[in-house]
Amino acid sequence: MNIPNIMTAQEAVKLIKSGDRVLIQGGSATPQTLVKAMVERAPELKGVEIVHLHTEGECGYTKPEFRDSFHTNAFFIGGNIRKMVGDTADYIPIFLSDIPSLFRQGYMDLDVVLVNVSPPDKHGFCSLGVSVDIVISGIEQGKTVIAQINSHMPRTFGDALVHLNNFSACVLVEEEIHEMKFVAPSEEEKAIGKNIAEIIDDGATLQMGIGGIPNAVLTFLTNHKNLGVHTEMFSEGIVDLVEKGVVNGSQKKVNPYKIVSGFAMGTRRLYDFMDDNPEIEMKDIAYVNDTAIIRQNPKATAINSAIEIDITGQVCADSIGTRMFSGVGGQMDFMRGAALSIGGKPIIAITSTTLKGVSKIVPMLKQGAGVVTTRAHARFVATEYGVAELFGRNLKQRAQSLRDIAHPDHREELDKAIFDRFGSSLMVK
């Protein structure tokens, strides 16, 4: 296939001008070659605004010495820019499902979009591979789209296919896709995984992220039947369940028999599984995270994490006090979508304490902490000590249920806080 507008990365990023707003494709698909070439132009650029979800790899545009050249507004904070938030980076609080409307409805114009795509097929269509999420809306609305065409990017379907005609410049690269290595769950995470697996029904449609707790949950689902997947992101724990026939999507009402996701992060095994696999549909995040879509699948089960939760069920998942740590992301999209699903279960999963032994179930959230999931939205909370069901329970009952799944070392302190706030009459059944 003849590829038009081929140039070097250094030539391509000359299309970026001072004062431009640049969207960078994120996650494992972060276009490292283009990002590095853009940063090399720092001495020539002034006031370039960078926007993205969390990215992987180097992010030289956040270095203090380049503060006059670049400033980042992140929709979600990854570990690579976390220390720079409040300095050369800022955070935009927003539901993940709402980000595409910023671009499509003209709230945020995009001058340049940097993407990482597969080689074209014989019809000229490249694939966004492991990351469609918000970037497909960016390509639709961006004035200039620069693509690095990468033979290592798996070819995926759904909304992932983009024609060469959409690209103002093409850069040919051989760049490994970022791999997120499997981390074995801790004993606490295994216990949480077992507790959650016990309340997941056969035929459920799952949403879960990456990390020790989701990995642990997946390992305890091998005896389940007819599970489906509709999730903003997934990792390779899903692959085992597909190969065992546990995940088949047969009970889904929306996109039956398909794994629907916005982005994926894992190792090469996951990316090889995704490559040219019609079972996987990588979709626009405005669709994936739409509560009206999520709720249509019966028994939608959303599993999300938190930083801390107070005794009334308020969930902080984006900050440690006033210090921003991650972001709102898609937690509320799926917590609400699952709650509206027939037989759905929105679950917050946390270890009972931090690595330093501090309780994550607290009388009050830290001063300045953000409430991502409100007490009215919280229904199930799981720790290694059990699952607290909060739906339909009053404040006193919630407090006692959460106290019962807290670490034993902190239950006396929570008892005192509950008594001081609510008195002794808890009437828990």
Q: Residues for the chain: how many in total? A: 429
In a 13 Å sphere around the CA of 286, the CA atoms on its Cβ side amount to 14
Sign, CA torsion 9/261/288/165? positive
Amino acid found at 304: N
Strand order in the sheet with 70-74: 89-91, 70-74, 48-52, 21-24, 112-117, 144-150, 169-173
Q: What share of the chain is helix, strand, coil (3-state, %, to 5)?
A: 30, 25, 50
Give the largest CA-CA distance in the chain: 76
Which is catalytic among the residues 232, 236, 308, 384? 232
Q: In the beta sheet, which residues pair with residue 162? A: 126
CA separation for the pair 265, 138 (Å, rounded): 21
Instruction: Take residue 199 and report the two structure tokens written for it.
Output: 């309340």
Q: In the beta sheet, which residues pair with residue 254? A: none
> Annotated catalytic, 58?
no
Phi, psi of 29 (to 5 degrees): -90, 5
Closest C-alpha among 130, 281, 298 to residue 205: 298
- Given its phi and psi angles, is residue 71 left (phi above 0), alpha (psi -120 to 50 degrees) or beta? beta
CA separation for the pair 98, 87 (Å, rounded): 25
Amino acid found at 104: R
Catalytically annotated residues: 232
